[in-house]
Amino acid sequence: MRCDFKNRKVSVVGLARSGMAAALLLRDLGADVYATDSGDSEELKKNKEYLKDRAIKVEIGAHTPDFAKNKDLIVISPGIADTSPAVIWANEDGLPIISEIELGYLCCDAPIVAITGTNGKSTVTTLIGEILNRGGKDAVICGNLGNPFCGEMPRIKTNSIVVLEVSSFQLERVKEFRPYVSVLLNISQNHFDRHPDLDAYINAKAQIFHKQNGGDWAILNYDDALVRNLNKETKANILYFSRTEKVIGAYLDEDFLKLSTNGKEQLLRETSQLRIKGGHNIENVLASLCAASIFDINPERMADAVKDFKGLEHRFEYVTTIDSIDFINDSKSTTVLSTMRALEACDRPVVLIAGGRDKGSDFKKARSTIASKVKNLVLVGTSKEKMKGHLSGVVSISEADSMEEAVKIAYSKANKGDSVLLSPMCTSFDMFKDFEERGKVFKEAVLKLK
């Protein structure tokens, strides 16, 4: 524990999963907790009653100055922007503002492996955890992939290893956060609805390194120039992962996954033995091996863990085959690059379902990949018009008003030997609660075709 919160007045802004976990942890630590959210959904109403029953002062429906001013500390959830009235009032009072992962860090005595990047975070976070557990470690997998850091605090022991997915939104508000191992997977255009430009986005990601020192480790993607050039941002020891170069760390040698650390080279697996497919997933495996190697895991156990890893739901997830047409759920792909990588992993002609709520993306960057891999494009969501403008002339485009309609249109456009791929390039919030719900609705619609 790096900080005493007893009797301190702390306001938590945002009451989704991470905000709830932060409020409850602070209460357990003896803080005088206030919690505020501008929404008033049924879920928030339930959260309000749950917190009130635990002596936490709560407001929903709007932020008020009483819940943001005259406090010792403000803890904000990832979805809270600087334009929020609560943040503006806190800044006017000169109050310290931190993210939920910073709060977790201040309360955590275990070493942390923190993973960030534009794409692949959840897969790598989960795989690192599985490798560590296979190697006899007590890995606690948490963070931005669903179960908040603060909510896992009761089960984290000093001999645990916290494997933590972190987003740029969470890193914007860290001050002392210092992971023992930081992993930066890749950087591409993302969240331009929040970050003003690419430099601001990169700077937020680079916060993961800023408190590290010579006793820590940084894992960088050598093949991504934006990531590789951030080696100057950390004082930590550096390992690289690469699909194209022999590096100190983990790399691909023809079809073999290899580790090169501590002056030793170890051959682990052939890529043909992996259950997860695609070049992007080879990168994910290499990054995971790099990070796990720091904890002296037996190489055979590492190799077995990556061979057995099945991947995550909604990440290039095979659903079923109907009339020799494969259906793939890649609902988690909310960026242009992640969809391009999913398409590159397809070995059949593709009918692509895409669209949702735009994050300020440049869909024109996908034109070449779509031209070479996609035979028909079915668009859904509020981004339809922008996407149609960016991608017209490249592929035949249809439009749908629902996921069920999109699946039916895609099925009608596909032939035997094709794949129907949901890979949206956008967030889900215009039509769904989250990407999980979007993927679930897609799978249900597909199975109704049988």
The residue with greater pLDDT, 179 or 144, is 179
What pLDDT is attached to residue 196?
65
The CATH number of the domain covering residues in 102-308? 3.40.1190.10
What pLDDT is attached to residue 194?
60
What is the band of 190 on the pLDDT scale with cuts at 50, 70, 90?
low
Looking at the whole model, is its pTM more than 0.75?
A: yes
What is the band of 19 on the pLDDT scale with cuts at 50, 70, 90?
very high
Using CA atoms, how far apart are residues 135 and 296, in angstroms rounded to an integer?
9
Domain at 317-447: CATH architecture? Alpha-Beta Complex (3.90)
Summarize the confidence of residues 286-315 as an average pLDDT.
95
CATH 3.90.190.20 maps onto the chain at 317-447
- 115 touches 121 (CB < 8 A): yes
Q: What DSSP assignment string belongs to 352-367?
A: EEE-SB--S--GGGGH
Task: Return the minimum-mean-pLDDT range out of 190-199, 257-266, 330-339.
Answer: 190-199
Mean pLDDT of the chain: 95
CATH 3.40.1190.10 maps onto the chain at 102-308
* pLDDT tens-digit map of 71-108: 999 999 998 989 999 999 999 999 999 999 999 999 99
Long-range contacts made by residues 129-134, C-beta under 8 angstroms, separation at least 24?
A: 129/163, 130/305, 130/309, 131/288, 131/289, 131/292, 131/297, 131/301, 131/302, 131/305, 131/306, 132/161, 132/163, 132/292, 132/295, 132/297, 134/297, 134/301, 134/302, 134/304, 134/305
A 10 A CB-CB count for 194 gives: 19
| Residue % of the chain over a pLDDT of 70 | 98
CATH 3.40.50.720 maps onto the chain at 9-95
What is the band of 45 on the pLDDT scale with cuts at 50, 70, 90?
very high
The answer on pLDDT for 123 being more than 80 is: yes
Going by the DSSP 8-state scheme, the letter that residue 322 receives in this structure is E
The answer on pLDDT for 385 being more than 70 is: yes
What pLDDT is attached to residue 195?
56
Going by the DSSP 8-state scheme, the letter that residue 69 receives in this structure is S
At residue 410, the 3 state secondary structure works out as: helix
Q: What is the token pair recorded at 142?
A: 């948490």
Summarize the confidence of residues 267-271 as an average pLDDT.
90
The domain defined by 9-95 folds into Rossmann fold (3.40.50)
